[in-house]
Structure 1
């Protein structure tokens, strides 16, 4: 049976068509790709896609609802629309710390303007004023302020002092913001990660004009360079396996040889040939097509084929905690192990009891009466 791969996209015009062509080339007629077409969305209906590559639902709630229904019907959606709805950058930073990956010092700021349909009493748990002295001393200046769940470099501020901070915070109105230390970097990378296994490291410079950002060189040399690239590669995999993203970019700022994860919540990463360049474009088209085909081949009808990260599967033990000898991945395994332990103890007790009875019977066995 022919399996269908769909791609859902908006204004971008280079990656989607190249992706479709590459899947159709590599799929050899058994797996075919097309642009998703929607004329109605009825609850509980499977519209026939084994895989949907999502490039736009982060901007269109209607599409996100469509994709959640598709996931429920068994479509493997790249990226998981349920996790994307729940994820945000401040949580990512917290999780990154727990799995041993450096991040800039960060604090969370409440919105400057109260959300709609709230009043002053809605915030009776929030002290006024906040402990600004502590936070500003902890973060220091220069600092960056950005939305805790935003993207695309929107509402990002570089701040030199507290006056600039308070003025900028007022502009953000109802946005919940993060205040973050500035990492003055020697090297900077943007890293593609596909399928939680394919990694492509791109030197990147966010200080340059948008169309020139993927052309910078790596300053680190020799063994230092080799070690740095391996660390960036390993950190990228660790983050995406924890978060569960099938297609993501991770940005690292390197200070004193240490890569700090700056941004790693990008469910629809830039893949336009005019910004990423021909070499990076060719890599992402080739590998995204291969991965979509892998997912299509592995697809099982009427089952959950969507990827989940280690955090949700409860497989991550923070590095600062003691790791148990047995890594139980599921409740079922835990139950089986518990049962085995109970049985083992019971058997041990049974053997001990039987041995005790035998010993007791030997000691109390009556001696033969002497013959008369």
Structure 2
């Protein structure tokens, strides 16, 4: 019997409810908590499907899941894409697919990464165009890790001096500066299987356990149109990114939903925070998705979901996506000239020479006389590589504007 596993950490309510829900259905599959006793390279697991809720915090689990996916397990979410994805890229991709996002810029880390020197940053302008950046973003603004999550290391900054002061605390984190959105409505949307969407009114300014205790302010035809747009944007983002289990947050400004955060592949699903009704929806949708993936599972084949961003890059349809053919993998349907060539012969079957191949005789070549030696004119100075120009002697990767800047520190 094929198994469906769930890999989790400290959370309790969702994993247990998910296991019970899958096992209560007459699907032919059994769900359980994943057990890992050894991880051998290229060895398949006993699971057709694994829902990942913790590998973002445990690198050992991420490596285990990649190995499992290589051997055919359908991992939700795709561990390869999850490892590559981050919030700043999300924002850039959202703009490309027509989803409004806050104005955002990338900021180098305050401290140099380990194993780097000042010359590692010779391509970085010192100082950066801070005046242009601040004029583009405006204040107040939010500074947050470009690849973070869980509201960690998020700062509200009210002016340039406040930003520089708080930037001192960020160490080697690469941050992004993002405009503040004054919103009238705020929503958090579950998207499961790239087709099922649950739109939940949400108040991020409330204490954690009360954030879902909010009501939608827009009403009537305006409210209906807003919800339709939010659903459309949610599906666009998850199909492009390739996530089967994710949440998207929107802040509504002047009737326009602006995507704030949509890189949450292990979103909060605890009954005590999302509420009983939302919890019931998530458990049911997740159980149905896992069973659907288990039914479509093909042993030994790559059973991962890839987003349209990757699909378009290789010119092949994404495999196992909601709107795509689940029986074909991206590599099988790719154009022949886009697929790397590999040796498919087995160790037992040596490659035969082509029928047209002929033996080639190599003619011996007598070496020519050596050229005359050049007269030794004594030791000549050997030119050396010029010493690189070091942009700054500061230990930090960033610094405040120049002395003549209008934004100089007090």
Compute the RMSD of aligned alpha carbons: 1.6
Structure 1 segments of 4 or more deviating over 6 A?
A: none
| Match of residue 18 from structure 1 | 17
User: Is the CA contact (8 Å cut-off) linking 2:27 and 2:291 kept in structure 1?
Assistant: no
1:249 Cα deviation (Å)? 0.3
Deviation, 1:316, is 11
Hey, what's the Cα distance between the residues in 2 that align with 1:332 and 1:187?
A: 43
Q: How does 1:325-344 map to 2 (within 5 A)?
A: none
Contact 2:314 2:334 in 1 (8 A): no
2:120 aligned with 1:126, yes or no? Answer: no
Corresponding residue number in structure 1 for 2:175: 177
Against the structure 1 CA distance between its residues 230 and 279, is the aligned structure 2 distance closer, same or farther, given a 3 Å change threshold? same
Aligned partner of 1:137 among 135, 138, 143: 135
Say yes or no: does 1:191 pair with 2:186: no
Tell me the secondary structure at the aligned position of residue 212 of structure 2. helix
CA deviations 1:343-367 (Å, max 9, x no partner) are: xxxxxxxxxxxxxxxxxxxxxxxxx
Matched, 1:109 2:107: yes
Distance 1:299 1:56, change over 3 A: same
- CA distance in 2 between counterparts of 1:132 and 1:53 reads 43
TM-score using structure 1 length: 0.85
In the other structure, the counterpart of 2:66 is: 68
1:16 is displaced (CA, Å) by 0.1
Q: Partners of 1:330 and 1:233 in 2: how far apart?
A: 30
Alignment: residue pair count: 323
Distance 2:130 2:199 in 1: 38
Q: CA 1:331 to 1:40, structure 2 compared with 1: closer, same or farther past 3 Å?
A: closer
* 1:232 aligned residue (206, 230, 233): 230
Q: Which residue of the partner structure matches residue 326 of structure 2?
A: none
User: Tell me, what secondary structure is at the counterpart of 1:50?
Assistant: strand
Cα pair distance change 1:93/1:316, threshold 3 Å? farther
Query: Residue 227 and residue 305 in structure 1: after superposition, are their counterparts in 2 closer, same or farther (change >3 A)?
Result: same
Measure, in 1, the Cα distance between the counterparts of 2:168 and 2:36: 41
Counterpart secondary structure, 2:249: strand
Determine the structure 2 residue equivalent to 1:324: none
Residue 307 of structure 1: which of 281, 305, 308 is its match? 305
1:347 aligned partner:
none
1:193-214 CA-to-partner distances (Å, cap 9, x unmatched) read: 0011110000001000000000
Distance 2:313 2:126 in 1: 39
Q: Distance between the aligned counterparts of 1:80 and 1:306, measured in 2?
A: 6
Partner Cα distance (2:154, 2:272) in 1:
23
1:185 Cα shift? 0.3
Residue 29 of structure 1 deviates from its aligned partner by: 6.1
1:22-49 CA deviation, whole Å, 9 max, x = no partner?
00011x2611000001111111111210
Q: Distance in 2 between matches of 1:46 and 1:315?
A: 29
In the TM superposition, residue 3 of structure 1 has moved relative to its aligned partner by: 1.3
| TM-score in terms of structure 2 length | 0.77
Q: Which residue of 1 aligns with 2:252?
A: 254
**Secondary structure of the residue that 1:292 maps to in structure 2?**
helix
| 1:1-372 equivalences in 2 (<5 Å) | 2-26=1-25, 28=26, 30-314=28-312
Partner deviation per Cα, 1:296-334 (whole Å, 9 max, x = no partner)? 0010000010100000011799xxxxxxxxxxx989575
Unaligned runs of 5+ in 2: 316-329, 338-410
- In the alignment, the residues of structure 1 paired with residue 281 and residue 162 of structure 2 have an alpha-carbon distance, to the nearest angstrom, of 41
- Give the gaps of 5 or more residues in structure 1: 318-328, 337-372
- SS of the aligned residue for 1:42 comes to coil
Please give the alpha-carbon distance, in whole angstroms, between the structure 2 residues aligned to 1:295 and 1:207.
37
Q: Match of 2:232, SS?
A: helix
CA contact (8 A) 2:141 2:179 kept: yes
Q: Deviations over 1:122-152 (max 9, x none)?
A: 0000011111000000000010000000000
Contact kept, 8 Å, 1:242 with 1:316, in 2: the verdict is no
> 1 CA distance for matches of 2:139 and 2:246?
30
Report the Cα distance in structure 1 between the residues aligned to 2:78 and 2:335, rounded to whole angstroms.
26
For 1:38 and 1:53, locate their aligned partners in 2 and report how far apart those are by CA, in whole Å.
14
SS at match of 1:314: helix
Query: What residue number does 1:351 align with?
Result: none
